[in-house]
Amino acid sequence: MPVWAWEVGTGRHGTHHTMWRAGRTSPLGPGPPPGGVHRRMQSGFIAADDARGPVDREGWDQGQSERGNIVVVALIIACEVGFWVLLGIGILLRYVAKMPKASTVVLLCEPVLEVVLFVTTVIDLRNGAEPDWKHGLAAVYIGYSAALGHSTIKWVDARVAHRFFGGPPPVKPAKYGAARTLHEWKNAGRWVLAAVIAMALLQGGIWYVGDDGEIGSLRDWQLKMLFLIGINVAIALSYTLFPKRERSASSAR
């Protein structure tokens, strides 16, 4: 009855086990055993293409993430440009074409830009993108547009109408007393609302990613929004505690 033996060797394709008939030359030596029979089992065999698989996958994921970041940044820029383009078209329709209803319809399209930016950001995160400063900037932009977009449109509209189309001069805010204090609190309220909206969107992103994800950049944006709230409240509070008073005629001399 033939006796079989085992031998373990390492080749360029990994570890292999060889079994050959005793009394014959080892298959791992120079040349095959003359007339012998051997069986080889390569349990640890890894092909070159398989070895490159994880590396290629990692590179592919990194490329997808970079493309997603480019899309988010490009869309933020496009939304900002689109805001002013729609505003210009709305003003032209109102004062040049004398189509106030069409102007209103165009200006009502402004929030659509924020919705598109928000949906794109969510999709980018759902596709596995790590949240960074670009997603935080998108949240801040949406907050600003939602809270201050309307007042910005009114500010531009009043000045363009007065300067180019014979409209009445824009109403200037009060400079002194309680009226000035009220104006400062209204202005601070808009900025606080913008910051709160941005912080809520950022917090939604943090909950979506989870504590195990890279949420440091989103936390940093939340801290910036808290700082923004603090500045605006401090300015408004200073006008409350130390209201600006108009100088009397005697003191002016």
Digit-coded pLDDT (tens) for 118-135:
888 888 887 777 788 888
CA 164 → CA 64, 86, 104, 159, distances in Å? 48, 18, 19, 8
pLDDT at 249: 54
Sheet holding 38-41: strands in order across?
4-11, 14-21, 38-41
Q: What is the mean pLDDT of residues 182-208?
A: 94
* Range name among 16-30, 101-115, 198-212 with the lowest pLDDT average: 16-30
**Percent of the chain residues topping a pLDDT of 90:** 40
Q: What is the pLDDT of residues 145-173, one digit of tens each?
A: 999 999 999 999 999 999 998 889 998 88
